[in-house]
Structure 1
C-alpha cells in the first residue's frame, strides 16, 4: 500500500523509523475510533490522518505518468479496498436482512462512500481520498512549484469553505482538493531534510510547538472525513509540523535500534492496511459505543492486524494488505 511502503522495490528499501511512524499512526486511527473525548481529539485528530498524506508526499517519486500512478494506486489501494469491502459487506448485508433494516439507503451508502459511510465502513473514505489525491498530485507536480503552491492553497481554502460538501461527494473525491496541501508540504519537507542540522532538536521543537498550539486552542483538531480541516491554514501547518517532527525524531532514535526491531516495525507497517480497513467492522460487531473500552480497543487493533500479518505470507497479501507477498529471509 502506498501509505505503508517507502519504495517500490520491497522491504530492503524500507526504513524502520518511518515504518514505526506508520504503525504509530495506525494505532492512533484505531484509538480515535474507540474513544471520542476532547482529550483524544486534541492528542490524535490533528495529525493521525494527515500523517499518511504527508508521508505520501514525503516519499513522492517523480517520473511516473498519470497512467502509472493509476495502475500503482489501483494495486496498492484499490485491490484491498475492493477485497475488504466485499468481506465486510457480507455480514453487513446479513445483519440488515435479519434486523429488517434493509433499505435502498442503507445499501447504497457504503457504495457511495465518503462521509456518509459509517460503521463498518468508517475508514474506506480515507483510501479513496488518498487514491484521488495521489492522481491529482501527479498532475499538479508537472507544474512549476509556485503554481503547485497556489493550487494547493486554493484547494485547502475550498476545504475550509465547503469541506463538508466536498466530503459528501461520491467516494469523497472532492476532498482530494484540500488534501493536496499535505502531500505538497511532505514533498517540500523531504527536500529540506538533508540540509537540516540539529534534527532531533528541530523535531522536538516541531512536536512541542505543534501540540502547544493545539492545547492552547489556536489550532483546532481536524476531522477530515467530515470535511473539517480545523483552524484555517493553521491546523494544516500544525499537522505537517507534527508529522515532520515525528520523522526527524524517529530517524534519530532508530540509529541505535537493533535491526530486528526495525524489521518488526516494517512487517507491522506492511500488514497494517488490514487494521486500517477492518477495525471499524470489529467495533461494529462488538457494538462499541462512542467511548469504548481498552478491551475493545485491543480486540479491534490486534485481530485485523493479525489477519494482515498472516495474509502477508500468502498469495492473498496484495488483496488484503496492498503489499506483495513477503519472502521469508
Structure 2
C-alpha cells in the first residue's frame, strides 16, 4: 500500500532516488532510517512497497515533526528518539533484532541549519549551541572551557582548518574579555583571522564545522553506528550511507573496504584464522548527484553515497575509535 501524498510541501532528501535504488526495498522488509531528519528517506522507503520503517533521530524536534508521517503510514513507521549509534539496541527494543536495510544521512540537516535558535549557522544570529540533541555541553561551553591546544586540535581535526592555531589563540584571548556565546560573535572573530577570497567559502565555515562535529561527537557516532548496522543486517540486507565531507566519507569507505576483504590472517597466523568478508561493496566509487539535483539543491554538490550488501558471515569485531579529542576529556580539562 502506498502512503497518501502529504498535505504540506515535501522535503526532498539529497540523492533520494539513488538511495532507494541501492537500498532495493523488498516486500515485507524492515528498514532503518538511522538519521530520520525531515523524513525524506523514510517516506520514500514507505512508498516503495509494503515495508516497515524504524526511524531514529537524537533531535526531539525532528521526531515531533515526524508524527504526521507516522499517522499516515498506517502503522508501518515507528519513530525513536535516540542516537543512531544505538540502532542495534533500538531495533531489538522494537522487536526487530535483524533488518533488511539501513540508510544513514550523515551530518547536520537543512532544517537544523535553517533554525537560528539551534546555533548551527554563522549566517544568522543565534545562541552558540550546535547540539543535535537536548543534552550535553553546547559549543559555547566548549569555547569557554577548552584549552587553546584542545581548541586548535578540534578546529584542525574536525574542521580541517589550516589556521586552527591562530583561531584558537584569538578565541582564548577574546574570552578573557567577554564570553563568546553567539554565532555572530564567533563568526566575526574568526573572520578577522581567516581571510577568504571572493567566491570562496565563508571564513568561519571550517571552524563551525569542527565545533559542531566535536560537540555532537559525530565521527565517533558514525564509527559505532556502522558496526551496529553490520550486526543487525540480515544476509542480503543493504547498507546505504550518504555523507557530505571528506572526514565522513573516509570513515565509511575504510569501514566497508575493511569489511569486504578477508582479514585476521598474517604470515604469523594460519589461513584458518582469517575472517570472511561481512560486506560486499556495491559502489566501487561513490555515487554523486546529477547536475539537475545540484542546481536545485546546492547542498547535494558535496554528497557522496556508498552502498554495500551484507554477506552471511559473522559480524567483525568493532574497531577501536581513533585517538582524537573527546568531549569528556576536553570538558574535564584533561
Same-fold call, TM cutoff 0.5 = no
More helix by share: 1
Higher relative contact order (CA 8 A, sep 6+): 1
Larger Rg: 2
More strand by share: 2
What is the TM-score normalised by the length of structure 1? 0.25
What is the TM-score normalised by the length of structure 2? 0.25
